[in-house]
Amino acid sequence: MTGVYENQADIYLEARPTYPSDWYTKLAALSHRHHLAWDAGTGNGQAAIGIAEHFDRVVATDVSETMLNLGKPHPKVTYHHTPPSMTEDEMVNLIGGGENSVDLITVATAVHWFDLPRFYAIANRLLRKPGGIIAVWSYNTDMVVSPEFDSVMARFNAETIPYCKFPESRYFLDGYKTLPFPFESVGMGSEGKPIELEMKKTVSFEGFLRMLRSWSAVGAAKAKGVDLLSDNVVKELEMAWGGSELVRTIVYKTFMLAGTGRN
């Protein structure tokens, strides 16, 4: 599902938080080899570049050419457009050159939009056995700034829920607790039991507002003629924040599932 972000990809990528580097270190430590990694739904390649610090080569794919055009260059990372029309065999050959060839597969804040049976079938074919690792993670609207701001934000979140009507939304709204994940646990979450993590971003109110404007629910509401970020709402959020120029640290509640392929 890319349409919500196509017209504001640059805003989306600028505003979103950065994944901690120690996540990549931990995932690399679980993998038996470090030759090839695949970052699916890569966007601008944030996770792919983090992974490249630990692997010889990273293949980064996305269905959105708009996002890929914003991909950050890195000598170990190659970007590929993978439209839904590609067959499973084409995907396997493009990414790994064959089955049983990929040491780590990652999906950062994207797997909930995927055709899960198709993606998992491709992933299971590609994962090296034994020792290949797959990890998916995301975050949702659950964040902490300050008691005053959090209460105002909770009301805003409640207003967005009616516009989270994409079937896939339920997965990230419930913290991946209902996300199918047919892989053997490696001690970093398992199907129905994702591990809970935290991710921090220091930003001004204007930066935070840009992040809100990139939300899929905000875009969906706007497409229906509803402005969830009206002037009054923005003023209320800004007052609770403490002013447009004030810099605060947002703590995002994050969740991850990691596993290995089943023979």
Q: Tell me the average confidence (pLDDT) per consecutive run of 10 residues in the chain, 263 residues long.
A: 47 71 96 97 94 98 92 95 95 91 96 94 95 95 92 93 76 92 95 95 89 85 93 96 92 95 77
Render the burial of 11-29: b for 16+ CB within 10 Å, e for the rest.
ebbebbbebeeebbeebbe
pLDDT confidence of residue 15? 58
Pairing label, strands 104-108, 133-144: parallel
Task: Give residue for tokens 């934000």.
Answer: 153
Orientation of helix 205-213 relative to helix 231-241, angle to 10°: 140
E strands, 146-194, where? Answer: 184-185
Q: Tell me the C-alpha to C-alpha distance, in Å, between residue 254 and each of 104, 163, 198.
A: 20, 22, 5
Report helix, strand or coil for 94: helix
Beta bridge partners of 200: 251
User: Which residues does 90 contact at the CB level (< 8 Å), separation at least 6?
Assistant: none
pLDDT confidence of residue 8? 55
Judge contact between 27 and 34, C-beta under 8 A. no
Work out the number of other CB atoms within 10 angstroms of the CB of residue 101. Answer: 17
Q: What is the pTM (predicted TM-score) of this model?
A: 0.89
Whole-angstrom distance, CA of residue 214 vs CA of residue 234 = 15
CB-based burial of residue 213 (10 Å sphere; 0-12 exposed, 13-18 middle, 19+ buried)?
middle
Count the alpha carbons within 13 Å of 181 in the hemisphere toward its beta carbon. 28
CA neighbor of 9 nearest in space, from 42, 47, 58 = 42
Torsion angle defined by CA atoms of residues 124, 126, 131 and 137, in that order, rounded to the nearest 10 degrees: -70
pLDDT confidence of residue 11? 55
- Rounded to 5, what percent of the chain is helix, strand, coil? 40, 25, 35
Report helix, strand or coil for 259: strand
- Token output for 207: 């930066």
Render the burial of 161-188: b for 16+ CB within 10 Å, e for the rest.
eebbebebbebbbebbeebebebeebeb
Judge contact between 57 and 125, C-beta under 8 A. no
